[in-house]
Structure 1
């Protein structure tokens, strides 16, 4: 009986050894100490742990050249992953899609999808580019529009003409372009708001601080400061404070991102408007990759590109709640419950249709 038990255990070992988790490499365009992209990695790792995926993260530190070098290393190396997740930051995606052809690595885009021109070019040359498994982007344009609407609502009624300055991210990143487009669309609703200037702060606190100091000299009556991320908002805020202007009283500031600093500033009233939640997109991508690895089609609705409404307005109550969630390594999310595995054929991912209320 003991011999039979030993034989049974020995026979089971090779099976266990050969069962490998699906492997994912994420080309993170940010830096390890950049709060947004670090939290993005953190929630992807939490999802990977829940779902039994193997995740590696490479940071390109805002360099297109570094991102391309990392992509070549992943796609041309001896141990290629099952999936490569990338962001079309600085327009790097088309060349990576070209490099991936014939490698067997499945590509998945998050946050910044292909531009319309890029997509047309790729579609016109199907023999040159690999197919993309899927794309998840967020409601950036709507967020930019909603931010300005909420900012104007905080002004006193009949306040007369109001000066606005805006801090976009970078010109060749779709998310930055879309947020700016939303802000410009909202301007049509408020003829009393005068957009004095849009500057490109490169997502940087330091650069926005320097730009804001100059803008204040040009437009000293500025009362609205719209920012496409939190770091630029805080850089601009510092310049205004040094000029004796009080955020939340003399000037209305807005921002995108749900970093602890941004959440606290929203609670304190220094940020009048805050949009956030898009850090979770990487986690939802991992859910979909897990399902693909288990033979579940991601295009059951006929689409491979999805815009996910994760960017949402964060009021004071939600800011307090999210601060507490940040104390949990996995943000308190059970990613398995969002998988299509074991669900009916008509199951739809809930995060594709409405914001998840953490």
Structure 2
């Protein structure tokens, strides 16, 4: 951890030195440099920053929330402060960052997970918090479960369909919301029974180990719901080792549009995939760049917005996204998305379809 912290100090000093420049943005990435989702998230942001002329710096916390807080402290209270700090309320650390930001002059923007209702009540309104963008996590969890059930072969009256669920971290808002969506779908289908939900910490290895145990306990499971792609692949490996064919004997779902997940949809091993929220950081930069030029974000869809990014990705879309994945920022012209000078009816087109042009 110390190594990453010292690197953080070094990078902050070099990037935000007192030179004439465009607006500077620091993104505190809660993930690791080995996680496909958070790496693709950063790459999309970097493409947006290049297009918009934004001075972007990204620091990874390696899944250590205390490191995010340490990075925020350096950024907000050190001598070389960014104009904007973008961060995630991962493991509910946002209030600590908001406290550190008081009087710093740095504007704050939250992505992916925002203040809970309780946190918001405690913190209140803050003039330095300029907006937020979050995905439709609850709906994502719901859509995955509904699709798994839809694709499952019909069972005789009185028979049950058995499900296992692999979630991320108990104290991560996105995991909780996706679980809630899954439970909503299950409530609509009483013949589908959730045998067990486990927390795999978003990792493939942990899900694999858990799935091996659960498979021997529940040999009749035919649906596996996972809150991300890594856990889906871990569970899939355990089932495959037990002689079950993914996509035939057992249907799997996942979240994220990693190349591996998209390829698994094309191959038929993943039956339900939702994704698109890796774009949130890039869309946030469009809004920050507009705000920096005097655009009132509230005029164009609201300061705090939930975007319907998590949607089912079919085989054709998966092929299309695989083909586009090698192009920087999926070929999006971020400058064209600006609301500057637009009529009040304009709404930022922050959708997965914007990538599918």
TM-score in terms of structure 2 length = 0.91
Using the alignment, how far apart are the partners of 1:303 and 1:344 within structure 2?
Answer: 15
Mean Cα deviation higher: 89-98 or 153-162: 153-162
Counterpart check, 1:25 vs 2:22: no
Using the alignment, how far apart are the partners of 1:337 and 1:180 within structure 2?
Answer: 36
Contact 1:101–1:130 (8 Å) recurs in 2: no
Contact 2:300–2:339 (8 Å) recurs in 1: no
Using the alignment, how far apart are the partners of 2:62 and 2:132 within structure 1?
Answer: 22
The residue that corresponds to 1:138 in the other structure is 135
Number of aligned residue pairs: 337
| Deviations, residues 207-240 of structure 1 (Å, cap 9, x unaligned) | 0001111111111111000000000000000011
Contact 2:106–2:128 (8 Å) recurs in 1: no
Using the alignment, how far apart are the partners of 1:250 and 1:233 within structure 2?
Answer: 15
Q: Sort the Cα spacing of 1:302 and 1:343 in 2 relative to 1 into closer, same or farther, 3 A.
A: closer
Give the CA RMSD over aligned residues: 1.6
Higher alpha-carbon Rg: 1
Using the alignment, how far apart are the partners of 1:219 and 1:294 within structure 2?
Answer: 58
| Deviations, residues 281-337 of structure 1 (Å, cap 9, x unaligned) | 111000000001101111225732100011111100000000011110221111111
Uncovered stretches (5+) of structure 1, i.e. residues with no partner: 1-16
Using the alignment, how far apart are the partners of 1:330 and 1:258 within structure 2?
Answer: 14
The 5 A counterparts of 1:215-294 are 215-294=214-293
Uncovered stretches (5+) of structure 2, i.e. residues with no partner: 1-17
The 5 A counterparts of 1:124-163 are 131-159=128-156, 160-163=159-162
Mean Cα deviation higher: 300-309 or 240-249: 300-309
TM-score in terms of structure 1 length = 0.91
Deviation of 1:114 after TM superposition, in Å, equals 1.1
Q: Sort the Cα spacing of 1:357 and 1:50 in 2 relative to 1 into closer, same or farther, 3 A.
A: closer
The residue that corresponds to 1:42 in the other structure is 43
The residue that corresponds to 2:76 in the other structure is 75
The residue that corresponds to 1:356 in the other structure is 354
Counterpart check, 1:169 vs 2:168: yes
Using the alignment, how far apart are the partners of 2:47 and 2:89 within structure 1?
Answer: 23
Q: Sort the Cα spacing of 1:302 and 1:258 in 2 relative to 1 into closer, same or farther, 3 A.
A: closer
| Deviations, residues 167-204 of structure 1 (Å, cap 9, x unaligned) | 11111111110000000011111111010111011100
Using the alignment, how far apart are the partners of 2:89 and 2:276 within structure 1?
Answer: 19
Deviation of 1:130 after TM superposition, in Å, equals 6.1
Deviation of 1:19 after TM superposition, in Å, equals 5.2
The residue that corresponds to 2:11 in the other structure is none
Deviation of 1:116 after TM superposition, in Å, equals 1.4
Using the alignment, how far apart are the partners of 1:355 and 1:320 within structure 2?
Answer: 14
Deviation of 1:121 after TM superposition, in Å, equals 1.4
Using the alignment, how far apart are the partners of 1:245 and 1:121 within structure 2?
Answer: 50
Using the alignment, how far apart are the partners of 2:102 and 2:298 within structure 1?
Answer: 21
The residue that corresponds to 1:5 in the other structure is none
